[in-house]
Structure 1
Amino acid sequence: MSLATEWRPALQAWAQRDGVTWVYLAKLLTAAFLTYWIALRLELPQPSTALVTVFIVMQPQSGPVIAKSAWRLLGTLLGLVVVVTLIALFGQHSDVFLGCLALWVGLCCGLSARYRNFQAYAFVLTGYTAAIVGVPALTHPEGVYLSAVWRAVEIGLAVICSGVVSAVIFPQSSRTALRALLGKRLGSFAAFAADSLQGRLPEGAFAQHNRRLVAEAVGLEHLRSVTVFEDPLTHLRSGRLSRLNSEFMQCTTRFNALYQQLERLRHEAPTAWHDLHPALAGLLRLLEDYRDQPLDGASAVPLVARLEALQHMTAQRLAHLPATLHQQDLDTAGELLMGLLHELLDYARTHASLASHRHPREQWAVGFTPRTNLWVCAASGLRGFITVALAASFWLATAWPSGVSLVISAAAGISLTASTPNPWRAGVQMGMGVMLSSVVGFVEYFLVYPHIDGFVLLCFVLAPALLLGGFLTTRLSTMGIGLGYLITFASGAIPANLTVYNPTGFINDCIANIIAFGVCAIAGAVVLPTHAPWAWRHLQQDLRRQVGFAAHGRLKHLRQRFESRNRDVLQHATSLAAARPPVQDNLLQWALSVQDVGHALVRLRELGQAPAAVAEALTQLFERPAVARRHEALKALDEALAQSPSQPAAAYLHFIRSALLNPRSPLAQL
């Protein structure tokens, strides 16, 4: 065996793992130095603003760079409009201006926590852009408009350079990641479903797989939203991709309901469970055949034909099942099985349609609906207001020359940590990055820069410092450190066209930055911390309220909106409780219960057979869980079933009743 043959697998593994990281770092440096050189040539007043933008918007893939850049421009422009307005109104009254600025940053922090993905980032930028431009302009309010124009030019330059470098130099397309995720999704689900139905899952694996499916649903929507920016073919399929995500969520909900019903049959009516096996056999064969198999538009076509045949065959087998004492349980399981096959067929048809640029299934007006608790958003807004207000008050009280840096860093730090699951941890990490950048920046600025001349040598001495920060951002455990390092290093330790040798001022600014990020971390830990039990309780309540939404929400596209809202709340809640597995398990149990009951309620409403008393009793039960309300809900269900409703309404009513009696449900622990 030749040496090349031996080393090739290792090199390929390195290229797929660490090689991608080093390509990204090379692109980061290229974009930074290109932006810096153009900014110096154009004699822009603050090249550091452009560099900070590069470090924030650069991503390993092109799609997120373009999406983040677009939202950054939008957020920056809105922030500039606000700050020019505030200076025009209160430029002569520093205290009033800073109070309004604190309110504005707080509002933006709350909105950044409310929204998802790069929409949240736009509000982050809107908040601290006002501080970056407005606070220095207090001493010269007449120059605020020109300052705003320069900031827009600097950020626009950085956005263009970042986008060009990301798209031209070893481009990494988000489309590849999106296709890979879509391709393996059904195979992974088939393996999970087959193992679940055959009792091969180890203890706790069912909950773990459900958490992963929720994260995948939210992650795929994020990936779709950024890929449409870079790839016209994905843009043509955006509606179908959104539809595919919604249909997959409905498949998982149907499967969870079927699994719960089969488990009840297994323990309470083993004879009926055994009688159902012939009807399940076709589904099990299908799942085993597609276990861990990739799926694309072409291979989805035979899957559609197979599911259509399986649907017909399963209906016939269900019709010929023997009568049993547990007929209602059997009918319910049969209805859920047919529902799962129907959802899988819809999913396969949409997947097959991706092979065409144009398709009728593209007409899909229902997007993924984010749902963040208003109290959590208000807590983020309050932290933003308090942090900036404290920094501004300290500046006004002491007239500290570095108070400008203090207020700006406080606004930037609290804005960047507002939408993170753990603002305290994010603030601490960014503070560590600030301290590291202060040391490295001092060495560079006062010990290295005086001994070099020319842009090439400047890039040469900057490269190691920037590589350090860039590398830290590529690791999840040190991402906050790297971001804090790069932002403060770029804003304080990189020379502008007019460079001032002022060690005292530099040290004071470093102290101000450290204090500001320290205050941000303390605010995240003290002012209504989102990783505390109060936040989990509110988010759990939001989960339970989805039953009321299913019972009384507008019926048009209700199933899709219910699915996306439920999963978004669960994903947000579990991210806040990342360090508390028991809390995550409890939230997941509530989410599964809400999905079971809510989905059945929606189906009853679609059939026009949802008893008002049942809907109201279930809403009250999940709104304020109590033993008495559970009895009332069961009584309402018994009364509805006593009226002998037709199928499939009777099956869904019976399923809801069984879900309330499920000993593994959180309702059973009341």
Structure 2
Amino acid sequence: MSHAGSHGLRHELGVWARSEGLSWIFIFKMLAAALTTLWLAMRLDMPQPSTAVMAVFIVMQPQSGQVIAKGLHRLLGTLIGLLAMLPLIALFNQEPVLFLGGMAVWVALCTAGAARYRDLRSYSCVLAGYTATLVSLTAIQHPETAFLQALWRVLEIGLGVLCCSVFSAAILPQTTGTAMRQAVARRFGDFAAVVVTHLPGGDRAAFEDAQARLAAHTVRLETLRSMSGYDDPQLNLRMGRLTRLNHDFMAMTSRFHALQQLLERLRGQGDSLALDAFAPCLDSLSALLAPWRQRNLDIPGAAELAAQLEDYRAQLMPLIRQARTALDALAPDSPLRLDFDTAAELLYRLADDLLDYAQTHAALAPTRHARERWSERFAPRANRLAVAAAALRMLLLSGLGSALWLQTAWPSGNMFLITAVIIGALCSASPNPARMALQMAGGTCLAALLGFVESFLVFPRISGFPMLALAVTPVFLFGLYLATRPGWAGYGLGLLILFGFGTIPANLSVHDPATLLNNYIALVLSQLLVAVVMACVLPPNRPWLWRHLERDLRRRVVHALRAPLKGLAAGFDSSTRDLLTQAHDLAAGHPAVQRDLLRWMTLVLEIGHAVIELRQEKARLPDESSYAEGTAWRRAFDALAAALVRLFANPTPAHLSQTLAQVELAIDAVRRTPEARAPHFASSPLRRLESYLHFIRTALLDPHSPLAERLPRPGAAHAA
């Protein structure tokens, strides 16, 4: 084989090892974890080894930190569910209606908690719900042994979690810490590429897609951060800095977005004089970031970048002043001057944000650093109606399953109800729970067919654990393979979880064909019930929730106007991006809806950050007569704030007209206020306030904003 051919083969093998090879490592690790769990459960005479094996498949994740985090929260949820169910069993073991009603309410409340928190607490809530069902329904038929059976369920689940965690962390581990480091290293290069590509203008749709990716990146990175400390002690010592780094990234992406949007509006208005004057400033930023695009940023590189940015910031103000001389011939109140000053203010603040990010990244090197003291946290946001709908679906699912069991006295009714609650709870976390439930129903049908073959044709002919392991290995391998394929993951999970639950023999094995057939029917019918309920009862991937998430996005501006300033910027950024990520996932397959939601996020980020900056400037004003309470510009600001609240709570043509009028009045009031300072944004607070007001005005008049598309364009004359 030629050298070129061998080099190409090595390259292809390397690509395979980094993609498909990792999947097969994960498959064989989880197979080993499941078989080890099964052997230990049988060796320790646990009553239901299938529960332990099912726990392995529920908590399995590609990265060890995710497995450990999910495992610990699974145990926490299991204990909470146990504590919740024991009183119900003690009080209502002779009253099945009251008992099942209380259980249904508990499962619904846990599902609501899972939809509300959207982090690791969410997983604990899911587990507290369906583990309570698993524990109680296996114990209610023999309440005198309820506590002992509940204790066995906890031990079986704990064994599955322990084995899965050990195999994930000890054998060729793929750590969450490593994934976190790689993500942090890549994202500044991605951001630099977006800046260099889109700062001169160009394809708006491509820029919006880039914005959506960056927004989703911050949410995913927060999830990685929350789990990386479980398998990487070094990152655990830097959690404060990693949180701050994510905040700094959100701040600089928001600032660049505002700058780019302003420049696009100026290009659309044909404002070439201001753009030509500002071009050297933009060129300087592009020249600074061009070497960093698509380049991994390690800690030494971050220190180098921070040094470059310090020099750049020192040179930026003289460059802005020199560029501004091209507008000296214009009148002092010329709109072109205000356009230039607003763009210059945004660019200068962007330089500050870039420097903060680079310094925080460089500060990850030492074990301890002053930047570790960071109290602000990522603030996910959930829609209240979506939370209530998730609880309602689970309440109906539990109620229907309970009613069917009570009315038919079906011997496998408990299996039917347990399976429906478990799969319903797992599907509730999916953006498309109906599709996930249908996929798991397909996997359940396959599990029933394979389980029937194993139970009646294989298990009676074998003896000993080695032969049992050999018999179940092909099914486990097939299910794990499906679970690693994104489009088939539901089928794989359904096959793995329900095959283990319905087919793996107990330590006291009983070959009862009628019961086994009943159980298989229960498994399949329960999945069909889950699919019907998830598809028919307020499914989340439908227009009703898109509209409510759009409203929640708009109300972030109201939050920016009214919430306390402490921690407001970080909370506003993270909640807005989290809402967009939810909406973007729920609207998958509807690009027009995704585009509309993205434009609302764009407008909300622009207006919200401008409002927060205005409030921060007001809070920092010196004690001088120009800034005193009761001045005309302060009253105009209060009127503008009220108008913005009305507009974003209810975006009507009348409210847009009123808001534009109030912006004009506020700008005029600021201009007419005398100030004993140089009239430049670096020295004059009122000039900075005027720049933010002008930015708000241009954002409201943006021809690409959702306001322009949905409402008449009153005040077009204000576009100056």
Query: What is the TM-score with the length of structure 1 in the denominator?
Result: 0.98
Contact 1:402 1:509 in 2 (8 A): yes
User: Where does the alignment leave 5 or more consecutive residues of structure 1 unmatched?
Assistant: none
Secondary structure of residue in 2 paired with 1:358 = coil
Contact 1:108 1:415 in 2 (8 A): no
Hey, what does 1:655 align to over in structure 2?
695
User: Distance between the aligned counterparts of 2:144 and 2:650, measured in 1?
Assistant: 57
Pick one of 173, 176, 187 that aligns with 2:189: 187
Secondary structure of residue in 1 paired with 2:188 = helix
Residue by residue over 1:89-132, the C-alpha shift from the partner in whole angstroms, topping out at 9 and shown as x without a partner, is 21110000001111111111111111224322211111111111
Pick one of 537, 540, 548 that aligns with 1:527: 537
Secondary structure of residue in 1 paired with 2:230 = helix
Hey, what does 2:60 align to over in structure 1?
58
Pick one of 624, 630, 635 that aligns with 2:661: 635
Hey, what does 1:668 align to over in structure 2?
708
The answer to whether the aligner puts 1:357 opposite 2:367 as a matched pair is: yes
Hey, what does 1:256 align to over in structure 2?
257
Pick one of 500, 508, 514 that aligns with 1:504: 514
Aligned letter for 2:432? N
Q: 1:443 Cα deviation (Å)?
A: 0.6
The answer to whether the aligner puts 1:481 opposite 2:501 as a matched pair is: no
Contact 1:110 1:418 in 2 (8 A): no
Hey, what does 1:14 align to over in structure 2?
16
Q: 1:203 Cα deviation (Å)?
A: 5.1
Q: 1:6 Cα deviation (Å)?
A: 4.9
Q: 1:578 Cα deviation (Å)?
A: 0.8
Secondary structure of residue in 1 paired with 2:670 = coil
Aligned letter for 2:230? F
Aligned letter for 1:515? L
The answer to whether the aligner puts 1:305 opposite 2:315 as a matched pair is: no
User: Distance between the aligned counterparts of 2:344 and 2:705, measured in 1?
Assistant: 22
User: Distance between the aligned counterparts of 2:58 and 2:136, measured in 1?
Assistant: 21
Aligned letter for 2:244? R
Query: What is the TM-score with the length of structure 2 in the denominator?
Result: 0.91
Q: 1:170 Cα deviation (Å)?
A: 1.0
User: Distance between the aligned counterparts of 2:196 and 2:464, measured in 1?
Assistant: 65
User: Distance between the aligned counterparts of 1:163 and 1:524, measured in 2?
Assistant: 31
The answer to whether the aligner puts 1:565 opposite 2:575 as a matched pair is: yes
User: Distance between the aligned counterparts of 1:304 and 1:294, measured in 2?
Assistant: 15
The answer to whether the aligner puts 1:121 opposite 2:123 as a matched pair is: yes
Q: 1:406 Cα deviation (Å)?
A: 1.1
Hey, what does 1:244 align to over in structure 2?
245
Secondary structure of residue in 2 paired with 1:198 = coil
User: Distance between the aligned counterparts of 2:12 and 2:578, measured in 1?
Assistant: 39
User: Distance between the aligned counterparts of 2:583 and 2:152, measured in 1?
Assistant: 41
Secondary structure of residue in 2 paired with 1:60 = coil
- Superposition map of 1:432-511 within 5 A: 432-511=442-521
Aligned letter for 1:55? F
Pick one of 651, 670, 678 that aligns with 1:644: 670
Pick one of 400, 403, 421 that aligns with 1:411: 421
Q: 1:536 Cα deviation (Å)?
A: 0.4
Secondary structure of residue in 1 paired with 2:61 = coil
User: Distance between the aligned counterparts of 2:226 and 2:11, measured in 1?
Assistant: 34
Aligned letter for 1:232? P
Contact 1:190 1:292 in 2 (8 A): yes
Residue by residue over 1:485-509, the C-alpha shift from the partner in whole angstroms, topping out at 9 and shown as x without a partner, is 1111111111121111112211111
Contact 1:214 1:571 in 2 (8 A): yes
User: Distance between the aligned counterparts of 1:6 and 1:483, measured in 2?
Assistant: 36
Residue by residue over 1:598-648, the C-alpha shift from the partner in whole angstroms, topping out at 9 and shown as x without a partner, is 000000111117722111211110110011101111111111111125121
User: Distance between the aligned counterparts of 1:629 and 1:301, measured in 2?
Assistant: 48
Hey, what does 2:51 align to over in structure 1?
49
Aligned residue pairs, count: 669
Secondary structure of residue in 1 paired with 2:657 = helix
Residue by residue over 1:551-589, the C-alpha shift from the partner in whole angstroms, topping out at 9 and shown as x without a partner, is 001110110000000000110111110111100000000
Task: Quote the sequence identity (%).
Answer: 45
User: Distance between the aligned counterparts of 1:540 and 1:265, measured in 2?
Assistant: 27
Q: 1:136 Cα deviation (Å)?
A: 2.4
User: Distance between the aligned counterparts of 2:598 and 2:149, measured in 1?
Assistant: 50
Aligned letter for 1:97? F
The answer to whether the aligner puts 1:332 opposite 2:342 as a matched pair is: yes
Hey, what does 1:85 align to over in structure 2?
87
Hey, what does 1:514 align to over in structure 2?
524
Q: Show structure 1 runs of 4+ deviating over 6 A.
A: none
Pick one of 614, 617, 620 that aligns with 1:607: 617
User: Distance between the aligned counterparts of 1:99 and 1:493, measured in 2?
Assistant: 29
Contact 2:138 2:149 in 1 (8 A): no
Hey, what does 2:626 align to over in structure 1?
none
Secondary structure of residue in 2 paired with 1:185 = helix
Contact 1:109 1:418 in 2 (8 A): yes
